[in-house]
Amino acid sequence: MPRSCGEASMLNVICICQSLRGGHVEIHNFLRFFRLKACTLSEKIFGFVDVQKRGRITFKEFLFGSAHVLKQPLFLQACELAFTGCGSDGNHDISEQEFGGSILLAIPNLNEDEIHELFLLFDTDSHGSISKNNFNTCLRKNPLLIALFSPQLLRLDFPSRS
């Protein structure tokens, strides 16, 4: 299982797709790879990529879905706002507790170990906290994970682009 965002790259997804069921990944392996618990949000993330609704995806579908999210005009702004929304104590890094509090808004029944696994995905330099750079790097490499911060983003008003 990948230990950092750098390891959880699209290359790993290619390897997983090629090694499982003739180049396809089913939802349980997709969720395991991204350290997500089976829930409505996780199913929606997978369903976004599974455009043919077959219950499995190819690397091409994964790549297309990820690129689509990444190319959205407000994606980078959403990353910035999600990062700001996670940190509540005024410092520049997000603690595991702050991260967990934010993630629990999207997936309320995560336990401490599951939160920790997701935290490790974002803590790309293994310093025990998530810097803005770590956070943005992880979301650029795994843009589908921006959905984890949708509850806090839905409460915000995005200014119009100039």
Given its phi and psi angles, is residue 53 left (phi above 0), alpha (psi -120 to 50 degrees) or beta?
A: left
Q: What's this model's pTM, rounded to 2 decimal places?
A: 0.81
Q: What is the pLDDT along the chain (162 residues), one digit of tens a residue?
A: 444 444 445 555 555 555 555 678 888 888 888 888 899 999 999 999 998 899 888 888 888 999 999 999 999 999 998 998 887 555 689 999 999 999 999 999 999 999 999 999 999 889 999 999 999 999 998 999 999 998 877 776 555 554
Domain 75-154 is of which CATH architecture? Orthogonal Bundle (1.10)
Q: What is the CATH number of domain 10-70?
A: 1.10.238.10
Domain boundaries in the chain? Answer: 10-70, 75-154
